[in-house]
Structure formats: structure tokens, C-alpha cells
Amino acid sequence: MHIAGINWVAVLVAAAAFTAIGYVIHMRLVDLEAWDAAKHNDKAGLSTVRMASGIILPLATAIGLAVLFAWGNVAGVGNGVVWGLAIALASALPTLWYNWFYGSSPIWIFWVDSAHQLIGHAIVGAILAGWR
């Protein structure tokens, strides 16, 4: 379903893929107790509404990349990966790393989050540009 030059089915699939990547990285590959201790999280204090709203950020990323790809006529899986990585390196990672420069969490937290952003942007880019 294309509206305004954007394949909205691809946007939803890309957002779901980004969310799934985050789940695998943060819930399966990382020691959750170490993560919670490093982030000073209290599991009891985490709101289920807040956690459930976690799809908003991957959806915003997918929509943003879809708009940029439509404007720039980015097509093809390889181009999508390259542009997804470029956008992650130019925007997502610098924003993420502000929290390390001015925060107190250990650096490994930011390497994990950076991997999530890089892989996520590459996959979102591949899906969006490959499914044009």
C-alpha cells in the first residue's frame, strides 16, 4: 500500500524487524542482571505502558527513513543498507553517545545500544529500499 510515495506495509515490517533486533540484542544476548545494575534500573519500577510503547521509536525510525528514501529515490537492498548505516552514523549514534559523554552508565551499555542502532538501521534500510 503506497501513500505519498511510501510503502506503508514495508514501514510496518521494518519497524517490527527493528523491534525484533532490539529484543534479541537486549533480551537474549545481554545479561539482564548486569544490564539492570549498569543502568540502575529497578524492574519493579519499569512501567508496562512505557515498555509497550517501545515500538514508537522503531516506527519513527522506519517512517523517517522511508521519507528520506522517497525524497532521495533510494532503491535496492544494498543502497538501503548503505543509507541506513550512513543515517545511523550521522544521527542515531551521535545522539545516543551524548548520554555516555554526559552520563554515568558504563561504556559497554553504549556499545550494545550502538550495535542495535547500526544493525537496526541497516535492516530497516534494506527492507524499505528493497521493497519499493
For the record, the C-alpha cell of 111 comes out as 556499545
Alpha carbon of residue 53 to chain centroid? 14
The residue that leads in pLDDT, 21 or 27, is 21
Provide the 8-state DSSP code for 7. Answer: E
Its sign, for the CA torsion 5, 8, 10, 16, is positive
Number of domains in the chain: 1
**35-72 pLDDT tens trace:** 777 776 666 555 666 667 788 999 999 999 999 999 99
Domain span holding position 10: 2-130
Name the average pLDDT for the chain.
89
Cell 512505557 appears where?
50
pTM above 0.85, yes or no: yes
Predicted pLDDT at 42 = 62
- pLDDT above 80 for 101: yes
Distance CA 107, CA 37 (A): 13
The residue that leads in pLDDT, 4 or 119, is 119
